[in-house]
Amino acid sequence: MKIRTCAVAGMFYPRDPHHLEQLLEKFFRDKDRGTDVFGVVSPHAGYPYSGEVSATAFSAFDPEFSGTFVLIGPSHRGYRTSVSLLPWETPLGIVDNDQEFGSALDLDCDEVSHQDTENSLEVQVPFIKYRFPRARIVPILMGDQEYPSAVRLSEVILDAVRETGRSDLRFVASSDFSHYVPAEKAHRDDHYA
């Protein structure tokens, strides 16, 4: 079986399963929020910098959720917008891909762009495997991240939801919001977002 292998384990998060599980356990401690939102924004920096924030985001979902997470993240390598239809490896085990929903999206499938040391989606997947072990994923890598492209992608996703009649979907937008800006500007921009 072909799978999308870990490309940034050992750089952005621990490769060792025991160490990763301990870290995720620490991040999720005292974060049960008793809500079930449809979508969150989660950062994609290394876990020492972003793990607490990501755990807070994922804690907004019902911990019993076992449907599909649609992951949307920026391409750091300039690839075009595409979907991955492979299961994804994590140090904690494989996360299955919801190929039925992924195939319903009017998007190209490009496994190479998803593999090429791309961290924006990969860093989300261990959180899902740890917190929602029965959930599946549909990873979408965004090439052009301008507003018209985001609107087009939302329309593609909405069309697939209508076509499939799915209601067991949750959404994770992967974003760091900013890089290398003064703290005051980052706080202002984060508040605006």
Q: Report DSSP letters for 48-66, one per residue.
A: HHHHHHHHHHHTTS-TT--
Lowest mean pLDDT of 18-32, 106-120, 170-184, name the range. Answer: 106-120
Mean pLDDT confidence for 31-40: 86
Residue 2 has pLDDT above 80, yes or no: yes
Q: Are 72 and 153 in contact (CB under 8 A)?
A: yes
- Reported in sequence order, the residue ranges of 8-167 that DSSP labels E, i.e. its strands, are 39-42, 68-74, 82-83, 88-90, 93-95, 108-109, 136-142
Residue 178 has pLDDT above 70, yes or no: no
Q: In the chain, count H helices and then E strands.
A: 8, 8
Q: Which residue has the higher pLDDT, 170 or 186?
A: 170
**pLDDT value at 79 more than 80:** no
- Are 7 and 116 contacting, i.e. CB atoms less than 8 angstroms apart? yes
Residue 44 three-state SS: coil
Residue 139 confidence (pLDDT): 96
Mean pLDDT of 171-176: 90
Q: What CATH number matches the domain at 17-192, 3.40.50.1220, 2.40.37.10, 3.40.830.10, 3.40.50.1860?
A: 3.40.830.10
End-to-end CA distance of the chain: 40
Q: Give the pLDDT mean for 100-124.
A: 84
- The answer to whether residue 22 scores a pLDDT higher than 90 is yes
Work out the average pLDDT over 58-69: 96
Lowest mean pLDDT among 5-19, 23-37, 171-185: 171-185
Q: What is the pLDDT of residue 112?
A: 67
3-state DSSP assignment of residue 86: coil
